[in-house]
Structure 1
Amino acid sequence: MTSDSSPDLVTVLFDIDGTLVDSNYLHVEAWDRAFVAIGHPVDVWRIHRSIGMDSAQLLENALGDEAETLGDEAKEHHNRIYLDMTERLRPIHGAREVLAALSERGHRVVLATSAPQQELDALLDVLDVDDSVDAVTSSEDVEAAKPAPDIIETALARASTPADRAVMVGDSTWDVIAAGRAGVTSVGLLSGGYGREELLAAGAAAVYEDAAELLSKLAESPISLRPAR
């Protein structure tokens, strides 16, 4: 964990689900089973396309006009099913290593997620990267999750960093859009199942396969190439 980063170093904000922990497809499975449980099956591809966005928007996308009446029940089922599967969570290749490398170089590292606290606790247990992280956000910190910029702005405040001195790393178009709305440069990873071209089209400055490739190309990435003040 950094104590006094150089002003020439950017703060790096990381999404967790699909970016650092291989959890997106567990969320897809949990939502699939949740929608079946409430008698409203949803095509799985539609669920996947909404992973990473605010749960209220996900429910509206999946349930349409019935989101208001069925959404809370579906969310309860999802939370229970997902938490029952957390033993299947594992870090994405290179996740721990890239956080450690950034911290050792003097960057501030912030985990910028809107995951509920119970889910966040499970993710942090899997990552085990306390020594590399300066701050963490959760759903308790904001009213609206991505693609709203709120969680990015909260992460910036936690790190006492202006938007032009930060880079966001995420796996979904929603991460990229949220970063753009907050005025933050973003890097996309393919590890969450979103495509390279759609991440670039959403505004990502660069796209890598996963955290391991980002680490191997760190010197030429937007994280290292951001201009000094």
Structure 2
Amino acid sequence: MRDEVERAALFDMDGTLVDTNYLHAVTWWEAFRQAGHTVAMADIHRCIGMGSDHLLERLLGKERDRSKDDPISDAHKALYGAYGPTLAPLDGAADLLRAVAARGFRVVLATSADGKELAVMRAALDADDVIADATSKDDVSASKPAPDLVAQALERAGVPADRAVFVGDTVWDIEAAGKAGVPCVALLSGGISRAELEEAGAAAVHRDPLDMLASLDTSPMWR
């Protein structure tokens, strides 16, 4: 029988552990506005969780002036960065990580954010005592919904896909995890509906980290 420490729980950050998805939507909207683009907030929100390269292509199209991509992304980073000191974890997020770690899972973070944003979110989360490792978009060549981040997180955890669970909040998390062969538990805290998450292939759906925490003892996935 395998030792339980050979299991891993891979966690997204934005909208899963830290309450940032709507801040991203607002600041992307403003970055687009400053660049002369009118993009509906609802459309932006549905792209949160993708890497910025995929987000820009989905919202502005393949025929856009790609020379403007970096200035738009930089504007978003600056606007979003202003909220850094006020970021807050979702209810139960740190306790969830500690409870999962206590069950023998290696906790590894896997986020489409860059390393600087990851550091700010980790500080807000305040659970480094149980986080074994973390990976960000700086560590991979392709962002979600490509599986690279999940694959990198598996490598950091030192486990195969069949010994891991991914926890996220968007259809892009579910798609990335699925391509890497990892089941995904989804949370509603990112603002995506239960129906959409289930249709995308979520193994289970919970309201938020606190709700997921309450289910750990009854879910065979976490035993």
State whether TM-score is above 0.5. Answer: yes
Q: Secondary structure at the match of 2:181?
A: coil
Aligned residues of 1:185 and 1:204 also touching (Cα < 8 A): yes
Aligned to 2:25: 28
Aligned to 1:73: 71
**Distance (whole Å) between structure 2 residues aligned to residue 88 and residue 59 of structure 1:** 26
Aligned to 1:175: 173
Aligned to 1:97: 95
In the TM superposition, residue 9 of structure 1 has moved relative to its aligned partner by: 6.2
Aligned to 1:185: 183
4+ residue runs of structure 1 moved beyond 6 angstroms?
Answer: none
**Distance (whole Å) between structure 2 residues aligned to residue 60 and residue 67 of structure 1:** 10
CA RMSD of aligned residues (A): 1.5
1:45 and 2:47 correspond: no
In the TM superposition, residue 152 of structure 1 has moved relative to its aligned partner by: 0.4
Q: Look up the equivalent residue of 1:89 and give its one-letter code.
A: L
Where does the alignment leave 5 or more consecutive residues of structure 1 unmatched?
none
Aligned residues of 1:12 and 1:108 also touching (Cα < 8 A): yes
Distance verdict in 2 for CA 1:222–1:188, change over 3 Å:
farther
Aligned to 2:54: 57
Aligned residues of 1:142 and 1:150 also touching (Cα < 8 A): yes
Residue number among 84, 87, 90 corresponding to 1:86 in the alignment: 84
Instruction: Give the structure-1-normalised TM-score.
Output: 0.92
In the TM superposition, residue 39 of structure 1 has moved relative to its aligned partner by: 0.9
**Distance (whole Å) between structure 2 residues aligned to residue 172 and residue 102 of structure 1:** 21
Aligned to 1:136: 134
Aligned residues of 1:99 and 1:132 also touching (Cα < 8 A): yes
Distance verdict in 2 for CA 1:48–1:222, change over 3 Å:
farther
Q: Percent identity?
A: 48
Distance verdict in 2 for CA 1:81–1:222, change over 3 Å:
farther
Aligned residues of 2:144 and 2:176 also touching (Cα < 8 A): yes
In the TM superposition, residue 211 of structure 1 has moved relative to its aligned partner by: 0.5
Aligned residues of 2:16 and 2:209 also touching (Cα < 8 A): yes
Q: Secondary structure at the match of 1:36?
A: helix
**Distance (whole Å) between structure 2 residues aligned to residue 204 and residue 185 of structure 1:** 7
Where does the alignment leave 5 or more consecutive residues of structure 2 unmatched?
none
In the TM superposition, residue 139 of structure 1 has moved relative to its aligned partner by: 1.4
In the TM superposition, residue 49 of structure 1 has moved relative to its aligned partner by: 0.8
Residue by residue over 1:191-213, the C-alpha shift from the partner in whole angstroms, topping out at 9 and shown as x without a partner, is 00011111111111110000001
Aligned residues of 1:205 and 1:222 also touching (Cα < 8 A): no
Aligned to 1:126: 124
Aligned residues of 1:214 and 1:221 also touching (Cα < 8 A): no
Distance verdict in 2 for CA 1:222–1:152, change over 3 Å:
farther
Instruction: Give the structure-2-normalised TM-score.
Output: 0.95
In the TM superposition, residue 222 of structure 1 has moved relative to its aligned partner by: 5.2
Distance verdict in 2 for CA 1:67–1:48, change over 3 Å:
farther
Aligned to 1:207: 205
Residue by residue over 1:54-83, the C-alpha shift from the partner in whole angstroms, topping out at 9 and shown as x without a partner, is 211100112122251321111010000000
Aligned residues: 221
Aligned residues of 1:52 and 1:174 also touching (Cα < 8 A): yes
